[in-house]
Structure 1
């Protein structure tokens, strides 16, 4: 049998249509830009820039930009929000939409669909949420900062996986899968905490309208509607009603994600017959590539298409912009009070203790098993990296505190805790992998 060039594919049945030439593999730089490592570094760079500006002579301009009001009007009605609120209430709804899509995919066909892997991630995530919250509450009991107990509960997916990706092949794949699943369950827990404990007074008419729109979206999903534009239109209406209802507007993103169907409309047949040669006719090649693209479009579910569509915008625009708007903490006059100490303790100590304790209980009870190639020492490192709570922790801090001093203290705690968790996690995993290599 003759070998098949890796760049040649045939879409559809093997006997029809000439061969297709796929584009060459991306170079090393392009691969890096698309990686979790670059996403984490971009997020970190945005936060550092905001922190520098907030503590420089340009601090006034930075604050003016954050509070710049932007209006969207239809006739004489509309929304007039500051840039900070547009990012936190509007763009972050898109982030939570992507999170919801990832959660749904993982629950149905991904790592969380496998009971023993799901049990380990769920147990680790629950422990990693409860212990940090208890540590924070113990340090702030009876004080004005108690309402921020939810701040150290979260794990930042992009940042934590970006740091883990920097370690490359030193870390087993099983550990990366575990941290990914844990971060996804953690995000689901964060959504529940925001909905239940960080919600203002409920406006029943708007909540009823949101429920009706969501019901229409669920019906569309059940009927197999595949046009993303229809989901986008109703999703925008859902966001507006949720915003007016008193629930945080980002909940609309998760609700929309649950309605987008995962079923595919058509299978994709791809064969690799031997002895094919590349087609040199550019015009014919273009036609065949268009056909292949249409076939791929039909084969993908609406959920996959929407997830792939949103991912670059969330990774390279929304999250860096969120970091830039929210990480600008002016340290002048900010003291290391119990709020800051509680957040740092929750992220740096509570996260690894909770993750390890929850995972140990699940394994001990026979509900879960460690991933292949992963031991308890490596799991400690994953627990440390889970203390990177950056995006969602900053988000919850904004919801928890109206007082500027408390909010600044919480944000400072998130920044310190995230940096310490990242440094400790990397150092621990490097030490453990070097020991196992010798």
Structure 2
């Protein structure tokens, strides 16, 4: 909470730190296992027993039931079956991002989307130009995809300061990149289409879309229909791994349901008071219903894919022969250099160049705290095109020796991209050293976005990051009211959200209620209601406050959980993370963080000192040209 409440502050700070550490550790662990599988495959293929590598993965697997016979090799099992789960998880992420995630907001997503498209097109064109003397021009798909696991793992290993915004940018880029790679596989790397199995696959997809309406047995239905779809797509001539994507895109996704969460708490209390099988089943059912099946499947299958499927895939596909003869032939082959140039140069130039053009043209904006040197570092790391690159090697190139040349190119490009990204981050941090965390306000006041009181050209400016469930926040204690009364029209007060969810379970929903009320012009009235009733912030309570304020309750409820409102709150949370804020309230006076007590007298002294310290020309807040002065808020 605050310096006066050390225990909550310590808990909150520790929780935020543990989340970041777990995320970084998980990324590093997944990348380490993928790298281990790669190294083991290379060592195995180049050992005295190297002949056993191909022999093992080409082992036949025959399954028969009556007249039905299934034949595959272990390599087919890995690439055609296990990798279906990889594409399934990718599809789940794509569906979530386009439905309730980063890609629902054009203004926020335009830069990484355009950068991702350029990162697909430029490498492919560069590959085609260099590979023209060969017969493998059609293998351009090898250079279009970035390996998300290696990308995030490399970012965690390099560890640049303030990585939150960059990680979000790269994840958004990776999602679009995955969509492009999946489309390329389906459209350009199939064995010819058979219309009958394709029609059957379409019927199965309709049935999968209807599974959401079943009252029970949805998991079993998805599994049975998914297996049938896999077989239909394989028979139709399309690579069967795309069945995983198709199923994932048909699975519903929605934000967590707070009503179900609260109902789970009530059922849990009932179970504690009277343990029985009926209550236990009700608790489990309520827990499942509070999250979409998309979220549950990502949580359940994601670790298996990252820590099992991908390392096995690397072990089965990275076993390139690295003897002097193979390396010599590879590095004289235009195919190898086309892959290296496509991944290293194409990704770097495409992503960095497209980002610079979009930002310079005003079509999109980079997130606060995210600068072009950081984009360049992320673009360099995007040349690590391991998993899908090796996957396409196996389906685009048939000659074993040529496949070795391509694998050498992919592995070489991945190493160069990692080293290049590391160098860019090191140089960028030296030339443009990052500022101390949280010393300055990372996002200046924007009258078109921020909620505020006072006139926008007031000489005194104070920004508060607060939590509606925190008893120390200024609107609850009255200190801001005293500041506003003291300065009158000469002070501008801006409110931003920092819900401390680990200690205040209702804070984020309360912040969303504030934003939903703001869409009807009543955010100040809603904030008063929230602070006056901090012990009653359940959904029913929020609806009651909206009704009491005369809001359109149906519209309020629709806005309460809308992606735009959730994203608005999360934008402030990300800014707070970037500035390493872990307690509420946190104040910025004149753009600089206020250190010390936040009683009204201390804030007044801080505001007066900020004006005395600033040149006369800089005392007024920087606002957009043509913005009207005065008013109670931006909306």
TM-score bracket, shorter-length normalisation? 0.7 to 0.9
Which 5+ residue runs of structure 2 have no aligned equivalent? Answer: 9-14, 266-271, 436-635
Secondary structure, in 3 states, of the residue corresponding to 2:260? coil
The 1-side partners of 2:253 and 2:107 are apart by 23
Residue 268 of structure 1 aligns to a residue whose secondary structure is helix
Matched residue SS, 1:47? helix
Task: Indicate the residue corresponding to 2:344 in structure 1.
Answer: 348
1:175 matched to 2:166: yes
Asked if structure 2 preserves the Cα contact closer than 8 Å seen for 1:172 and 1:373, the reply is: no
The answer for the alignment partner of 2:556 in structure 1 is: none
**Residue in structure 2 matched with residue 196 of structure 1 by the alignment:** 187
**In 2 relative to 1, CA 365–72 (structure 1 residues): closer, same or farther, beyond 3 Å?**
farther
Aligned to 1:239: 230
Tell me which of 243, 249, 263 is aligned to 2:240.
249
Which one scores higher on RCO, CA 8 angstroms, separation ≥ 6? 1
Structure 2 equivalent of residue 381 of structure 1: 377
Please state how far the C-alpha of 1:196 moved relative to its aligned partner.
1.1
Q: Deviations over 1:327-363 (max 9, x none)?
A: 0000233212111111011111110100012222322
Bigger CA drift: 363-372 or 412-421?
A: 363-372
Query: Please, which of 25, 50, 55 is the counterpart of residue 59 of structure 1?
Result: 50
Q: 2:125 aligns with which of 134, 140, 152?
A: 134
- Given that 1:133 and 1:153 are in contact with CA atoms closer than 8 Å, whether structure 2 keeps it comes out as yes
1:170 shift after superposition: 1.3
- Structure 1 partner of 2:613: none
Partner of 2:70, secondary structure, is strand
Residue in structure 2 matching 1:296, options 287, 291, 294: 287
Contact 2:41 2:319 in 1 (8 A): yes
CA RMSD of aligned residues (A): 3.1
Work out which of the residue numbers 238, 260, 263 in structure 2 matches 1:268. Answer: 260
The CA deviation at 1:398 is 1.0
Q: Distance in 2 between matches of 1:54 and 1:409?
A: 14
Tell me the residue number matched to 1:428: 424
The residue aligned with 1:11 is none
TM-score, normalised by the number of residues in structure 1: 0.86
CA contact (8 A) 2:339 2:406 kept: yes
1-structure distance, mates of 2:277, 2:49: 52
**Once the 2 structures are TM-superposed, how far is the Cα of residue 437 of structure 1 from its aligned partner?**
3.8
1:155 partnered with 2:151? no
Bigger radius of gyration: 2
Q: Give the superposition deviation at 1:287.
A: 11
Provide the C-alpha distance between the structure 2 equivalents of 1:264 and 1:132, rounded to a whole number of angstroms: 36
After TM superposition, list the pairs within 5 Å mapping 1:397-412 onto structure 2: 397-412=393-408
Deviation track 1:209-234 (CA, whole Å, cap 9, x = no partner) reads 11111111123246787722211110
1:74 to 65, 72, 78: 65
Q: State how many pairs are aligned.
A: 411
How far residue 430 of structure 1 moved from its aligned partner, in angstroms, is 2.5
